Amino acid sequence: MVKFCPKCNNIMLPKEDNLVCTVCGFEEELEKTESYELKEKLETKQEIVVIEDVNTLPTTRIECPNCGNMEVYWWLQQTRCADEPETRFYKCTKCGHTWREYD
């Protein structure tokens, strides 16, 4: 059962043998028949997956500005606002040089 402060209507939390308002500090004695348990919900963080194995990426024929190789891996990533186009990334299959192109 949740108890709210009679003065400011904010939640009251158990502290020793009292309920204490988290905002105004109002205290009320706990009735012996009541039991309160303080629980905290922790958010779980999502893991960001980084693709290390570039062999799973698609390839296309574009000249690498570093070595002149004509085969590169490519992928798209949203790097700016959602209403702007995605950024194209390229990585040379020969020398590993990475660059990007914007629309």
Contact indicator for 26, 6 with CB cutoff of 8 Å: yes
For each of the domains in the chain, give its residue range(s) and CATH number, in order of start: 1-39 (2.20.25), 59-100 (2.20.25.10)
Annotated binding-site positions for Zn(2+): 5, 8, 21, 24, 64, 67, 92, 95
* pLDDT at residue 19, as a whole number: 87
83 is catalytic: yes
Query: SS3 for 100?
Result: strand
Active-site annotation holds for 86 = no
Averaged pLDDT in 10-residue chunks for the chain of 103 residues: 83 84 86 65 67 75 94 87 86 92 80
- Given the residues 63, 71, 84, 86, select the one marked as catalytic: 84
Specify the pLDDT at position 32: 67
What HEC string does 12-73 produce? EEEECCEEEECCCCCEEECCCCCCCCCCCCCCCCCCCCCCCCHHHCCEECCCCCCCCCCCEE
